[in-house]
Amino acid sequence: MFQVFPFTAIVGQERMKRALILNAISPQIGGVLIRGERGTAKSTAARALAALLPDIRVVADCPFACDPTDPDLLCDRCRERRDAGESLPEAVRQTSFINLPVSATEDRVVGTLDIERAIKLGERHFEPGVLASANRGLLYVDEINLLDDHVVDLLLDSAAMGVNVVEREGISFRHPARFILVGTMNPEEGELRPQLLDRFALCVDIEGIADRAARVDILERRVRYEQDPEGFCAEWCAIEAALTERIATARALLPEVTYDRSHLYAIAELTAEMRVDGHRADIVILKTALAHAAFGGRRVVGEPDILLAAELALPHRLHRSPLEDTQSQLQRLEQRLERARAEAEEGEPSPSSSVPEPAKKKVTR
């Protein structure tokens, strides 16, 4: 069996890992955009994340991988079957990893309704698209800046709404489309339109790692993985399993995590101070902070959660001019983050360290 490079064996890039994990805990945060040069582990990380996510219980013969335990999240087909008194067959499946090619069209993504068949035979026939196979999985788009704007728009809508509705000539079909959206781009190959950029919930800029010891770790792990994928993955198996478990626990805890008005004021203060346009950032910070609290095993959101969420939600939403302003804004956020991290480290386990480090070496970014 093909062994994906373990997520926890990726050296450094803590911010990227945190953004991915939090989106996996709460896909409706609305997607992660990873910007960086080629060869910076972007696609490795996305694949690796899908591979470690907990298995899911599905309706065995449903192309949308409906969740049999949640009647609110059934596709039209499963709902009709259930309403007709059928008991839906169940199966357990791995979290899917769907790689969307940049040539994908709207029909390919959302699926199609066969109108001719509906008119001639009076039956509704829906041909599932990519969003069907992506439900409850991870949808990965490499070089998303090269994808048709309209299609990017559709993906972002579905990721945030968690549902795909296709309507034609008065006929409609609806199925759940809750997926972890991960887009990557190399800024040197063209930008994403600002309107689309703002709709990506989280954004991380990653760079190659300059630290020599860390570079040696990257090299060593890569070589060992290539020589003996199974042996290498076996070494990381326990750490991977621990993270899988922690994500599953966080998912279960998430609906119980609470906040009050003071947290909302803290978020508003932050976004007002940073002069962020619109209100999308505030909502994203809240959702991300809740996921971060759940990941830390806490039932109440705290300031560190809010700040660490802001660090992921703000970089692509700050005014680009004048440059000095942006830099000092980021510095101020950085200072607050430092304090928040220090506070978080006093408690345990540190919610900011997304992944336990391997036993033998301490890796620095």
* Residue 111: CB minimum distance to Zn ion, A: 13
* Residue 138: CB minimum distance to Zn ion, A: 19
* Residue 76: CB minimum distance to Zn ion, A: 8
Residue 132 interacts with Zn ion (CB under 5 A): yes or no: no
User: Which of 88, 104 has the CB closer to Zn ion?
Assistant: 88
Residues binding Zn ion: number (CB under 5 A) = 5
Q: Which stretch binds Zn ion (CB under 5 A): 63-71, 123-131, 197-205, 242-250?
A: 63-71
- Contact call for residues 266 and 306 (beta carbons, < 8 A): yes
User: Which of 76, 235 has the CB closer to Zn ion?
Assistant: 76
DSSP secondary structure, 181-237, as one string: EEEEE-GGG-PPPHHHHHHSSEEEEE-----HHHHHHHHHHHHHHHH-HHHHHHHHH
Give dist(CA 35, CA 29) in Å, integer: 18
- Contact call for residues 116 and 169 (beta carbons, < 8 A): no
- Cα Rg of the chain (Å, integer): 21
User: Is 280 annotated in the active site?
Assistant: yes
Q: Which stretch binds Zn ion (CB under 5 A): 55-63, 128-136, 291-299, 349-357?
A: 55-63
Q: Which residues of 117-127 are buried (b: 16+ CB within 10 A; e: fewer)?
A: ebeeeeebebe
User: Which of 62, 156 has the CB closer to Zn ion?
Assistant: 62
The single residue among 23, 26, 31, 64 that binds Zn ion, judged by CB under 5 A, is 64
User: Which of 135, 271 has the CB closer to Zn ion?
Assistant: 135
Residue 257 interacts with Zn ion (CB under 5 A): yes or no: no
The single residue among 22, 34, 52, 78 that binds Zn ion, judged by CB under 5 A, is 78
The single residue among 75, 109, 185, 294 that binds Zn ion, judged by CB under 5 A, is 75
Active-site annotation holder among 18, 35, 251, 280: 280
- Contact call for residues 3 and 351 (beta carbons, < 8 A): no
- Contact call for residues 12 and 363 (beta carbons, < 8 A): yes
Q: Which stretch binds Zn ion (CB under 5 A): 16-24, 40-48, 65-73, 315-323?
A: 65-73
* Residue 228: CB minimum distance to Zn ion, A: 40
Residue 131 interacts with Zn ion (CB under 5 A): yes or no: no
* Residue 70: CB minimum distance to Zn ion, A: 11
Residue 177 interacts with Zn ion (CB under 5 A): yes or no: no
User: Which of 64, 140 has the CB closer to Zn ion?
Assistant: 64
* Residue 27: CB minimum distance to Zn ion, A: 18
The single residue among 66, 134, 196, 286 that binds Zn ion, judged by CB under 5 A, is 66
| Bridge partners of residue 141, in order along the sequence | 183
The closest of 108, 105, 124 to 116, measured between CA atoms, is 124
Residue 295 interacts with Zn ion (CB under 5 A): yes or no: no
Quick one: DSSP state of residue 28? G
User: Mapped to the 3 state alphabet, what secondary structure does 119-186 carry?
Assistant: HHHCCCCEECCHHHHHCCCEEEECCHHHCCHHHHHHHHHHHHHCEEEEEECCEEEEEECCCEEEEEEC
Match 């509704």 to its residue by tokens: 124
The closest of 196, 202, 110, 186 to 152, measured between CA atoms, is 196
Q: Which of residues 11-40 bind Zn ion (CB under 5 A)?
A: none
* Residue 73: CB minimum distance to Zn ion, A: 9
User: Which of 81, 292 has the CB closer to Zn ion?
Assistant: 81
User: Which of 46, 66 has the CB closer to Zn ion?
Assistant: 66
Q: Which residues are catalytic?
A: 280
Question: Interface with Zn ion by CB under 5 A: which residues?
Answer: 62, 64, 66, 75, 78
